[in-house]
Structure 1
Amino acid sequence: MNGNSFRKMLAAGGVLAAVCAGSALTAYAAGGLDMHTDYPGMTAKAGENVTVNLEFDNSGAGCDAALSVQSMPEGWDGYISGGGNRISQIHVPSGTNTATASFQVEIPADTADGTYQVVLAARASDSVNDTLTLTLDVNELEVSQGDFSSEYPEQEGTAGTSFSFNGTLINNSAQEQSYSLSAEAPDGWQVSFKPSGETTQVASIQLEPGASQGLTIGVTPSNNVAAGEYTIACSAISGNEKLSMDLSVTVTEKYDLLLSTPDGRLSFDARANAESDVTLSVTNNSNVAIQNVNLTSTSPTDWNVSFDTPTIEQIDAGATVEVTAHVTPSKQALTGDYVVTMSAGSSQVSDSAEFRVAVKTSMVWGVVAVAVIAALLAGIGSMFRRYGRR
Structure 2
Amino acid sequence: MRNKIKYALAALALVVLAAVSPMKAQAAGGLELYTDYPGISVEAGDSQSISMYVSNDSGSAVEASLSILSMPEGWEGYFSGNGSQISRVHVQNGEEASLTFQLEIPDDAAEGSYTVQLQAVSDTGLTDTVDLVFDIQEVQYSQGSLETEYAEQEGASGTSFSFNTTLINNSAADQSYSLAAEAPDGWQVSFQPSGETTNVASIDVASASSQGLTVSVTPPENVEAGEYTIPISATSANDSLSTELKVTITGTYSLALSTPNELLSFDAHINRESDVTLTVTNNSNVDLQNITLSSSAPSGWTVEFDTSSIDTLEAGATQEVTAHVTPGDSAIAGDYVCTFTASCSETSSDAEFRVSVKTQTIWGVVAVVIILALIAGVAAVFKKYGRR
CA distance in 2, matches of 1:337, 1:245: 64
Counterpart amino acid of residue 256 in structure 1: S
RMSD over aligned CA atoms reads: 4.0
Counterpart check, 1:52 vs 2:41: no
Counterpart amino acid of residue 144 in structure 2: G
Counterpart amino acid of residue 75 in structure 2: I
Counterpart amino acid of residue 47 in structure 2: N
Match of 2:112 in 1: 117
Structure 1: gaps spanning 5 or more residues: 29-33, 43-49, 70-78, 84-90, 109-115, 377-390
Q: 2:24 aligns with which of 7, 15, 39?
A: 15
Whether the 8 Å CA contact 1:36–1:55 is kept in 2: the answer is: no
User: What are the Cα deviations for residues 153-195 of structure 1, in whole angstroms up to 9, with x where unaligned?
Assistant: 1112222222222222334444444443332211111223334
* Secondary structure in 2 matching 1:169: strand
CA distance in 2, matches of 1:93, 1:163: 63
Counterpart amino acid of residue 180 in structure 2: S
Counterpart amino acid of residue 106 in structure 2: Q
Match of 1:309 in 2: 307
Instruction: Return closer, same or farther for 1:323/1:36 CA change in 2, 3 Å cut-off.
Output: farther
Match of 2:189 in 1: 191
Counterpart amino acid of residue 117 in structure 1: G
Match of 1:361 in 2: 359
CA distance in 1, matches of 2:303, 2:343: 17
Match of 2:136 in 1: 135
CA shift, 1:338, in A, is 1.3
Match of 2:156 in 1: 158
CA distance in 2, matches of 1:18, 1:171: 53
TM-score calculated relative to the size of structure 1: 0.70
Counterpart amino acid of residue 354 in structure 2: R
CA shift, 1:364, in A, is 3.5
CA distance in 2, matches of 1:278, 1:130: 102
Instruction: Return closer, same or farther for 1:283/1:81 CA change in 2, 3 Å cut-off.
Output: farther
CA distance in 1, matches of 2:248, 2:237: 34
CA distance in 1, matches of 2:227, 2:129: 71
User: What are the Cα deviations for residues 322-364 of structure 1, in whole angstroms up to 9, with x where unaligned?
Assistant: 2222222224422211111112222333222111112211233
CA shift, 1:375, in A, is 11
Match of 2:252 in 1: 254
Match of 2:294 in 1: 296
* Secondary structure in 1 matching 2:24: helix
Match of 2:272 in 1: 274
* Secondary structure in 1 matching 2:224: coil
The size of the alignment, in residue pairs, is 335
CA distance in 2, matches of 1:107, 1:342: 84
Instruction: Return closer, same or farther for 1:122/1:304 CA change in 2, 3 Å cut-off.
Output: farther
Instruction: Return closer, same or farther for 1:80/1:356 CA change in 2, 3 Å cut-off.
Output: farther
Q: 2:107 aligns with which of 81, 105, 108?
A: 105
Counterpart amino acid of residue 295 in structure 1: L
Q: 1:24 aligns with which of 32, 37, 58?
A: 32
CA distance in 2, matches of 1:178, 1:105: 19
Instruction: Return closer, same or farther for 1:163/1:220 CA change in 2, 3 Å cut-off.
Output: same
CA distance in 1, matches of 2:354, 2:77: 89
CA distance in 2, matches of 1:54, 1:65: 18
* Secondary structure in 2 matching 1:323: strand
Whether the 8 Å CA contact 2:45–2:109 is kept in 1: the answer is: no
Counterpart amino acid of residue 223 in structure 1: E
Instruction: Return closer, same or farther for 1:118/1:317 CA change in 2, 3 Å cut-off.
Output: farther
Instruction: Return closer, same or farther for 1:362/1:167 CA change in 2, 3 Å cut-off.
Output: same
Counterpart amino acid of residue 61 in structure 1: S
Instruction: Return closer, same or farther for 1:247/1:61 CA change in 2, 3 Å cut-off.
Output: same
CA distance in 2, matches of 1:296, 1:81: 91
CA distance in 1, matches of 2:24, 2:101: 34
Match of 1:222 in 2: 220
User: What are the Cα deviations for residues 51-100 of structure 1, in whole angstroms up to 9, with x where unaligned?
Assistant: 1214576965244656425xxxxxxxxx43689xxxxxxx9723565663
* Secondary structure in 2 matching 1:244: strand
CA distance in 1, matches of 2:133, 2:308: 92
Instruction: Return closer, same or farther for 1:118/1:361 CA change in 2, 3 Å cut-off.
Output: farther
Instruction: Return closer, same or farther for 1:312/1:224 CA change in 2, 3 Å cut-off.
Output: same
CA shift, 1:318, in A, is 1.4
CA shift, 1:237, in A, is 3.2
CA distance in 1, matches of 2:102, 2:267: 95
* Secondary structure in 1 matching 2:28: helix
CA shift, 1:371, in A, is 8.1
Counterpart amino acid of residue 133 in structure 2: L
Counterpart check, 1:94 vs 2:88: yes
Match of 2:5 in 1: none
Instruction: Return closer, same or farther for 1:107/1:368 CA change in 2, 3 Å cut-off.
Output: farther
CA shift, 1:19, in A, is 0.8
* Secondary structure in 2 matching 1:11: helix
CA shift, 1:203, in A, is 3.5
